[in-house]
Structure 1
Amino acid sequence: MPDDTPRFTEVAPRVWVAHYDWMHVNITLIGGSDGLLMVDTHGSAAEARTVADDVRRLGAGPLTGLVNTHEHWDHHFGNATMVEQFGDVPIHATDWAAEHMEVSSAHTFEQYEQDTGHPRRDEILATTLRLPTRTFSSAVQLDLGDRAVELIHPGRGHTAGDLVVRVPDADVLLGGDLVEESDPPFIGDDSWPLEWPLTLDLVLGLMTDATVVVPGHGKVVDKEFVQDQRTELGVIAETIRDLASRGVPQSEALAAGEWPWERERLGSAVQLGYEHLPRSQKRLPLI
């Protein structure tokens, strides 16, 4: 067996994380007396088969449920494979994520149909979509036998349908893509940059100083890391508000602002920020 085979590592009692090089995705297993809950399933059927092999190699119990932290393909394209490999287990997500998964996936398939040179193109296009089967709006508690796990929609941020997973007895929180370590969080055309900092405030309120935080991508972090990321996102949101209130047009805002991240990452943030601002917070430029 190659030394670089991804393996699940226990980061807290009966909570295991496997980090995969492709997109720096994290897959998490939460163990209870009734079995294992898997949070996110990776970005293709082929990659999900590798994850399934790693689950069996861990040998910590049967897989009894899946969670998708949001509707982006790299977190749920492994759903169908997991059901094929482990049986028809329930798949949990927010109402929003489940309702928008088909449209989001169609955009992904279209993108890779056109990208004929991408090395993962055929692998991604060979994936079968499987949608969540159990959804919720604000919060739900899952019973793993001798352990309760909480799924919480803390507000809009990376998408409108993000959830975080809290394992209270182990003091672990899985942040999905509301928190990223491998790169700054991705602000895409379906993100909510003005609300994201307030959403993270609620997430931070679920933590203690000792909480183990598993981001959607990258290394395991802590509460201080999340606080720092919240501060950066807050600076972005307040800079957008300040520029708009001073009458700086959207077309000039990216160049005019002082930003905590590279400007190349913030085009969507500025566009969406201006779109989401109420009229009362915008000032017409002087002519």
Structure 2
Amino acid sequence: MATKSSANGADPEYREESFVQLVDGVYALTSDSEPNVGAVEAEDFLVCFEARSTPAAARRWLLRLRERTAKPVRYLVLSHFHAVRTLGASAFDADVVIAHERTRTLIAERGRQDWAGELARTPEAFPEAEGIPGLTWPTLTFSHRLTIPLGGERGDLELRHPGRGHTAGDVVGWLPQQRILFAGDLVESRAAPHCGDAFHDEWATSTLDNVEALGAELLIGGCGPVARNRAEVDAAIAQSRHFLDELRRTVTDVRDRAGTPAEAYRAAHDALAPRFRDRPSFDTLPLAVRRCWDECDGVTWPRIWTAQRESEVREALAPSR
């Protein structure tokens, strides 16, 4: 079932959202342009995956979830540090907020700048932004794997760090008994990967290899519809890898022949637009090219994005006509 509502009280064409019950006790709210979120029922509590951009956005998801279960949220899992996935955390009243240890580092280092930059670029994605109480801080972090027993015959939820990719601290939620994977922004079924804070080489190789090796049969990606069988899961991983491979190939080719970042952007755009131009997040390609170019120059840790820097990079690589 899908609904439309207004993000800011003035936009009647606000993003369509679909509530999905994947199996008994496992739910997702998906959208073509909002971050996907999910929840897993344990015997007497809930684990929620992702927090959305504001408490108001989170409450919209929780209202749908409360139609199915009244169990309290014990754990809220953040897949990474970006504002659109973290700043709604206060609405969950979770006992524990879990993230990778590098996500805590990134929030401290650049959380304010990411918040300001995303709000400036897409204010419609932050409904009732004045209700955000501040940065979201994890209360429990881990490095490689953390297991949450769900009780009864429900099995475990495994939180894993498959490697650096979309950010340095990506976390996936894996239900091995149900073969369901909450992949965060590491995998996109029908969107262009957002790569401004990425580690492209690792993401396109070992990180996606580790995701693929899980053998998921249902996958909830960063946004868009659920991949509902092994063939669709494999296709989602393959198209995410294809985007990264083409980005790396075109940027590296231009740099190796002493070209410019603007030329690299045009080459990447020409290679990727036929498949991705109409998909969410393709407009972030200038940021992806700039980050990939930096990696070629030996900048191993992503530079911090501010609203001003993003504007300058967009104008330098893809000047407005």
Same topology, TM > 0.5:
yes
1:56 aligns with 2:66: yes
CA distance 1:120–1:215, change in 2 (3 Å): closer
Q: Give, in whole Å, the separation in 2 of the partners of 1:145 and 1:31.
A: 10
Q: Give, in whole Å, the separation in 1 of the partners of 2:35 and 2:294.
A: 30
Q: Work out which of the residue numbers 27, 42, 61 in structure 2 matches 1:32.
A: 42
Secondary structure at the counterpart of residue 164 of structure 2: coil
Q: Work out which of the residue numbers 240, 245, 248 in structure 2 matches 1:234.
A: 245
- Which position in structure 2 is the counterpart of 1:41? 51
Deviation track 1:41-100 (CA, whole Å, cap 9, x = no partner) reads 1111112222222222112633221100000111111211111xxxx4111110111222
- Which position in structure 2 is the counterpart of 1:225? 236
Deviation track 1:153-197 (CA, whole Å, cap 9, x = no partner) reads 112221111111111000011110112235211122x22233321
CA distance 1:264–1:47, change in 2 (3 Å): closer
Deviation track 1:99-140 (CA, whole Å, cap 9, x = no partner) reads 22245441244347868x945667123201331111011222
Does the 8 Å CA contact 2:194/2:288 hold for their aligned counterparts? no
- Which position in structure 1 is the counterpart of 2:212? 204
1:175 aligns with 2:183: yes
- Which position in structure 2 is the counterpart of 1:138? 144
Which letter maps to 1:260?
L
- Report the alpha carbon displacement of residue 233 of structure 1 after superposing the two structures with TM: 1.5
- Which position in structure 2 is the counterpart of 1:163? 171
Does the 8 Å CA contact 2:254/2:263 hold for their aligned counterparts? no
Q: Give, in whole Å, the separation in 2 of the partners of 1:62 and 1:158.
A: 30
Deviation track 1:175-223 (CA, whole Å, cap 9, x = no partner) reads 10112235211122x2223332112122111125xx1010121111222
- Which position in structure 2 is the counterpart of 1:215? 221
Q: Give, in whole Å, the separation in 2 of the partners of 1:119 and 1:74.
A: 11
Q: Structure 2 unaligned segments of length 5 or more: list them.
A: 6-16, 228-232, 299-321
- Report the alpha carbon displacement of residue 151 of structure 1 after superposing the two structures with TM: 1.1
Secondary structure at the counterpart of residue 187 of structure 2: coil
- Which position in structure 2 is the counterpart of 1:284? none
Secondary structure at the counterpart of residue 183 of structure 1: coil
CA distance 1:4–1:196, change in 2 (3 Å): same
- Cα RMSD of the aligned pairs, angstroms, is 2.8
Secondary structure at the counterpart of residue 17 of structure 1: strand
Identical counterparts, % of pairs? 26
Does the 8 Å CA contact 1:152/1:163 hold for their aligned counterparts? yes
Deviation track 1:218-273 (CA, whole Å, cap 9, x = no partner) reads 11122222222212221222332333333334342223455223585432222222
Secondary structure at the counterpart of residue 259 of structure 1: helix
Secondary structure at the counterpart of residue 274 of structure 1: helix
Secondary structure at the counterpart of residue 61 of structure 1: coil
- Which position in structure 2 is the counterpart of 1:259? 271
CA distance 1:32–1:191, change in 2 (3 Å): same
Secondary structure at the counterpart of residue 91 of structure 1: strand
Which letter maps to 1:66?
L
TM-score, normalised with respect to structure 1: 0.82
- Which position in structure 2 is the counterpart of 1:271? 290
Q: Give, in whole Å, the separation in 2 of the partners of 1:13 and 1:29.
A: 11
Q: Give, in whole Å, the separation in 2 of the partners of 1:227 and 1:60.
A: 38
Q: Give, in whole Å, the separation in 1 of the partners of 2:244 and 2:140.
A: 31
Which letter maps to 1:275?
D
- Which position in structure 1 is the counterpart of 2:112? 106
